Amino acid sequence: MTESSYGRGAAVLSVGIGATGVITFAYFSLASHSLSESDYGGITLLWSAVFITVSVLYRPVEQLLSRTIADRDARGLEGTEHLRVAATIQLALGVLFVVAALLLRGPIQDDLFGGSERLYWILIVAVLAYAASYFARGYLAGHRRFPLYGGLVLMEATSRALFALAVAVGIAEGQGVVALGIAAAPLVSLLVVPAALARRSRQAPVASRQDESPEGEFTLAHGSGFAVAVLLIMLCEQTFLNAGPLLVKATEGDRGAALAGFAFNVLLIARAPLQLFQAVQTSILPHLTRLSAGDEGDPFRRSVNLTLIAIAGFAGVVALVMLVAGPFVMDLLFGGEGGYDRFGLVLVSLGMGLYLAAATLNQALLARARARESALCWAAAAVAFVGFLLLPVLDDPVLEVEVGFLGAALLLGSLLYSQYRRG
């Protein structure tokens, strides 16, 4: 995969994921206008519970498949043991989730969903359905089928929005129909898989060869070690994005909820670019894996450097916009006189750039089969971030989140860069 084809793949995915974001916004817009405030609140809770769970549980297997397939293709290795191992891990994670959800049915159904049995069961079905969806994503990414990958996420978002549209126009009614779209969408999106398998079977088989490297024999222990390390990375990622508002809410008493919402809005400056960056993450891992398998050191470093330069430019533009018109933009987006601090918004913008750079270096380490080292870097930075937030360093809790996010992102990037340079 050349750098130009990698760029085209990232561009195709960016379009697909960008369109997905717009359609997802439409889903929530339709739902908010069709449901009562209470019922719509249940939809947002269901959404958050599903996507935090699947991101942590299933993205490790997606990345495991993406990296392993790309590496085996580059080495000319045949066989399906890597697919069986990944499927076994995914199945085990799904079973683990079901067991935990059944044991915690009371708190989930009564405390989270206000006693709604329907939302509880939709949560279980949706999380299990996404196990298959993320497996398919890893398969498509590893084989560089980026148009189909983009089609999968676009079909998922579109089918989900159709359930909300049906309620909005009166074909159906109620919270249950809107919620059902969250469970049905990942299943409908799998319609792209037969096209991928058909094309794969039509391709001429490549000559297989033996490889004495550890990648040549893909065992359950090997795959589980990688998946556990990436699972830890996913947990740390959620800590970076959610610990700030949650700790503000927990420690600020009566004004905690309002300040938590304020901090959440500020961190959207970091969250929103991460959605588009998923396209880069998805395409760069198999690309770098192939370069690493071929011992192409210069192209490997050049691809990483080009991505880092693009991130630096993007973060610089966002920081400049926040410096010039940040408070106005935030008030326009979220309404009212929010009192957003210009300096704090610039700090989060710079932290966003450092965080995206760290995510790029993380993919480079995963491509080199150094998931454990990367996970330790993430864990250290996440612990430092939470520790900083728990200390009464600053009087302003929102500013403390902003400073802590920038500092933790800088620490994470530095640790990952140190590991990257050692390679």
Structural domain contains residue 209: no
Structural domain contains residue 81: yes
Q: What is the pTM of this model?
A: 0.82
Structural domain contains residue 373: yes
Structural domain contains residue 255: yes
Q: Which helix (H) or strand (E) holds 107?
A: none
User: How much is the pLDDT for 208?
Assistant: 47
Structural domain contains residue 148: yes
Looking at the structure, tell me whether residues 262 and 394 fall in a common domain. Answer: yes
Total count of domains within the chain: 2
Extract the tokens encoding 17. 């994921």
User: How much is the pLDDT for 89?
Assistant: 93
Which of 311, 341, 233, 322 lies closest to 269, judged by CA?
A: 322
Structural domain contains residue 102: yes
Looking at the structure, tell me whether residues 110 and 175 fall in a common domain. Answer: yes
Which of 296, 250, 298 lies closest to 401, judged by CA?
A: 250
Cβ–Cβ contacts within 10 Å for residue 339, how many?
A: 10
Query: Where a domain ends, among 177, 203, 229?
Result: 203
User: How much is the pLDDT for 8?
Assistant: 66
User: How much is the pLDDT for 217?
Assistant: 58
Q: Give DSSP secondary structure letters for 265-321.
A: HHHHHHHHHHHHHHHHHHHHHHHHHHHHHTT-HHHHHHHHHHHHHHHHHHHHHHHHH
Bigger pLDDT: 246 or 350? 350
pLDDT tens sequence across 49-63: 898 899 899 999 999
Instruction: Give the pLDDT band of residue 212 (cuts 50, 70, 90).
Output: very low
Cβ–Cβ contacts within 10 Å for residue 119, how many?
A: 23
Looking at the structure, tell me whether residues 35 and 155 fall in a common domain. Answer: yes
The whole-chain average pLDDT of the chain stands at 85
Average pLDDT over residues 57-74: 90
Long-range CB pairs of 90-94 (<8 Å, 24+ gap) are 90/58, 90/61, 90/131, 90/134, 90/135, 91/131, 93/57, 93/58, 93/61, 93/131, 94/57, 94/127, 94/128, 94/131
Q: Which domain holds residue 63?
A: 1-203
Looking at the structure, tell me whether residues 157 and 242 fall in a common domain. Answer: no
Most confident of 26-30, 280-284, 404-408: 404-408
Structural domain contains residue 208: no
Query: Where a domain ends, among 146, 174, 203?
Result: 203
For residues 69 and 149, is the Cβ–Cβ distance under 8 A? no
Query: Where a domain ends, among 154, 171, 203?
Result: 203
Extract the tokens encoding 55. 């991101």
d(CA 339, CA 341): 6
Looking at the structure, tell me whether residues 118 and 260 fall in a common domain. Answer: no
